[in-house]
A = this chain, B = another copy of it.
Amino acid sequence: MRQPKVTIKIEQYLDERKTLVDKALQKFMPRPSGLASDVINAMNYSLFAGGKRVRPILCMAGAEAVGGSTDSVVPVACAIELIHTYSLIHDDLPVMDNDDLRRGKPTNHKVFGEAVALLAGDGLLTLAFNLMAGYGAEKEVEKKALLRVIDLIASAAGYKGMVGGQVVDITYEGKEPDPSVVEYIHRHKTAALIAASVTAGTILAGGNKDEEKSINRYGQQIGLAFQIADDILNIQGDRKIMGKGTGSDKEKGKITYPSVFGTAESTKIQKELIKNAIESLKGFDNRAEPLRDLARYIINRKL
């Protein structure tokens, strides 16, 4: 059976962009040296443990959608991947989700111990801001736009975003599934940084306020849809794709979309979000086509 053309196109696009991001990350990351080699090794271990680079790719596509160059957003795109990786390392720690495997590999603390893993997360989070500010101090970029982007990304990563989502995620573990709680968790823990990624690209590429707003709305919607897809895959998914056992959310008493709404209803919500995400892009021309394709691609959760 032939695959639909859009899938082939977007898969090639993702592949090319992933290669570009991986190369840039290799360039930006320090090599282990000196007394603190351990923590540098640990930072590199998780950063190069098979991430799909979804957030950097979205950041570049957000620039593309308003006619900007993707090259100039690469440092910020990579910084976002560092922040994403830090959050995975800290989430996997025994005091948090206590996960031994991530993408089929032992988690950071399983390899380097808890103390070094904790510090590797801190190191990646901090290095992300180095990368963004250092690049901006040296290069010809619109500095006010860059400061706005740093602010936006810090908000999405902090207590108003990921940190806030994670604290609710762990404190509500094992409690009664509640629609407003699960939406809060997913919007903060996942959608916030995804929305910030794509919006950062648009801001850096000089998008106007209306474009910024539409792109942000798109990002919020695909971000939530992305996490719902993850929840569903955690029940139905293939161990090989997930890199960890299925059913782990249920085992831990995690509040997820399927646990609150059931799988069928969750799929319906997810499809509605994708439809709305694409609708948010109605004012954009074909330069936003990658964003539209990416949104459709999420339904299959191959992303």
Contacts and interface: CB of A to CB of B under 8 A. Distances in A.
Interface of A: 30, 34-36, 38-40, 43, 90, 93, 95-96, 114-116, 118-119, 121-123, 125-127, 129-130, 132-134, 136-137, 143-144, 146-148, 150-151, 154-155, 157-159, 163-168, 170-171, 181, 184, 188
Contacts of A93: 118
Given A151-B137, A188-B36, A95 B114 contact: yes
A86 to B, nearest CB: 8
Nearest to A158: B126
A90 B120 CA distance: 12
A45 to B, nearest CB: 14
Contacts of A121: 122
A127 B159 contact: yes
9 interchain residue pairs of minimum CB distance: A126-B158, A133-B150, A36-B164, A143-B143, A137-B147, A130-B154, A133-B151, A95-B114, A129-B154
Contact of A35 (B122, B132, B157, B164): B164
A30 B39 CA distance: 32
A122 B163 contact: yes
